[in-house]
Amino acid sequence: MIAASLRNGLVRVALLHGDELAEFYLWNPQAPDGVGDLYTGRVDAVEKALAGRFMALGAEVSGFLPDSAGGKSLSIGQYVSVRVTRAAQGGKGPRLALDSTTPGDSPGLTRTGPGPLVELAQRFPGYEIVLDDHALMAELRPALEGRMRYDARAFDPVLEDEIATLADPLAPLPHGARLHITAAQAATLLDVDAAAASHMPPLALNTAVIPEICRQIVLRNISGGILIDFAGLKAAQRQKLVPPLREALTRDPLSPNLLGISHLGFAEINRRRIRPPLHEILNG
């Protein structure tokens, strides 16, 4: 099921596999993040050092089109259609990809992206969509006709409680362990604290908490560089966590890349930044 609840102008979107919360998004229909937006863009500058082009998108908005996303052959002043593949975040403009749509004759927005609710509906075409706002249902009817159902309690108390915990940088893990989440500009550190589970063998404990760590990464949309500091492991044991961690990451819709275990003992993960992480939205 996909559940959506409107509160204070924000739509909270939850993907549920049975009773388990699998993905969560905050969506502001009045100020969307722009992922999937289609623009007519004009090449304003070629940056060989960055392997890409800066594109004027209209209304003093600019974005970056990497050479690897179709920009390599474009010259300054050329008009093309581009699609936003990563929202503006961290002080940087949106990331773009070349689109085959015929461009207009001036920079500007051509079509808005679907937003996270419609994206989830497209990824899970058999899932029912439950919403608690009639006006929102009317707005979404062209895209989701026949799939929506109204329920004033689209988010039940159990779901409300779980979502409330996502604003806390401390997440509970199985067996009484805890996950401390520290976000920085360059990377996010996930520190496993054995806490009440200190009686368990470290390798068994860390193996047991891996699926929930990966679930928290998805729910909070932790992106970019991620470092996991597992609890109390000797250097020789850390490599034994690579296979279960790699397996757990295969369930992530963004297919993160596990880079391995660093010399300092951190598991290093690179996860694509597409939409802003939840902590940036909550603290923005």
Q: How many CA atoms lie within 13 A of 76 on its CB side?
A: 5
pLDDT digits 0-9 by tens, 171-182: 999 999 999 999
Band the pLDDT of 59: cuts 50, 70, 90.
Answer: confident
Domain boundaries, the chain: 2-28+115-159, 38-111, 166-283
How many angstroms separate the CA atoms of 85 and 70, rounded?
A: 13
270 within 8 A of 256, measured Cβ to Cβ = yes
Whole-number average pLDDT of the chain? 94
Q: Do domains 2-28+115-159 and 38-111 have the same CATH topology?
A: no
The pLDDT of residue 283 is above 90: no
Question: 31-57 b/e with 16+ CB inside 10 Å = b?
Answer: ebbbbbbbbbbbbeeeeeeeebbbbbb
* pLDDT greater than 70 at residue 284: no
pLDDT at position 197:
75
- 240 within 8 A of 203, measured Cβ to Cβ: yes
Q: According to the model, what pLDDT value does residue 236 have?
A: 85
| pLDDT tens, residue by residue, 128-171 | 999 999 999 999 999 999 999 999 999 999 999 999 999 999 99
Phi, psi dihedral angles at 184 (to 5 degrees): -130, 170
CATH topology of domain 38-111: OB fold (Dihydrolipoamide Acetyltransferase, E2P) (2.40.50)
pLDDT > 90? residue 123: yes
Cβ–Cβ < 8 Å for 4, 154: yes
Half-sphere exposure of residue 58, counting CA atoms within 13 Å on the CB side?
16
Which of 282, 281, 261, 258 has the alpha carbon at shortest distance from 271? Answer: 258
pLDDT band at 246 (very low <50, low <70, confident <90, very high): very high
Neighbours of 275 (CB within 10 A): 23
Q: What is the pLDDT of residue 234?
A: 87
pLDDT at 267 over 90: yes
- Pairing, β 129-131 against β 2-7: parallel
Q: Dump pLDDT digits (tens) for 82-121.
A: 999 999 987 789 999 999 999 999 999 999 999 999 999 9
Cα–Cα distance, 240 to 277 (Å, whole number): 29
Q: Which residue has the higher pLDDT, 185 or 42?
A: 42
Q: Tell me which fold the domain 2-28+115-159 belongs to.
A: Nucleotidyltransferase; domain 5 (3.30.420)
- pTM to 2 decimal places: 0.92
